[in-house]
Amino acid sequence: KNSSESLLSVNRMINIAHRGASGHAPEHTIKAYELGEKMGADYIEIDLQMTKDGELVAMHDADIDRTTDKTGFVHSFTLKELKEMDAGSWFNLESPGAAQEAYKGLKIPTLQEVFEHFGSDANYYIEIKQPDESPGMTAALIRILKEYQLIPAEREGAIVIQSFSKESLLEIHQQEPDLPLIQLLSYKQPAQITERELSELREYATGIGVNYLYLNESFIKDVREADLLLHAYTVNEKREMNALINWGVTGIFTNYPDRLSEVLGK
In Å, what is the CA distance from 187 to each residue of 190, 219, 233?
7, 12, 12
Tell me the three state secondary structure of residue 18.
Answer: coil
Q: Report how far residue 127's alpha carbon sits from residue 123's, in angstroms, rounded to the nearest whole number.
A: 13
Span between the terminal Cα atoms of the chain, in Å = 12
| Minimum distance from residue 161 beta carbon to Ca ion (Å) | 11
Query: Of 103-111, 120-128, 151-159, 236-244, which part binds Ca ion (CB under 5 A)?
Result: 120-128
- Residue 190 CB, shortest distance to ligand G3P, in Å, is 18
Distance CA 108, CA 162 (A): 21
Mask 40-69, x = binds Ca ion (CB under 5 A)? Answer: -------x----------------------
**Cβ distance to ligand G3P smaller for residue 22 or 51:** 22
| Binding test (CB under 6 A) with ligand G3P, winner from 30, 56, 184, 235 | 184
Binding residues for ligand G3P, total number by CB under 6 A: 10
Confirm whether 231 is a catalytic residue. Answer: no
Nearest in space to 35 (alpha carbons), one of 55, 50, 15, 49: 15
Is residue 223 a contact partner of residue 241, using CB atoms and an 8 Å limit?
Answer: no
Comparing CB distances to ligand G3P, the nearer of 68 and 195 is: 68
Instruction: For residue 87, give the DSSP letter.
Output: S
Looking at beta carbons only, is 88 or 209 nearer to ligand G3P?
209
- Nearest approach, Cβ of residue 117 and Ca ion (Å): 19
Active-site residue flag, 28: no
Query: What are phi and psi for residue 234, nearest 5 degrees?
Result: -110, 120
List interacting residues with ligand G3P (CB under 6 A).
Answer: 18, 47, 60, 127, 162, 184, 209, 233-234, 253
Catalytic residues: 18, 60
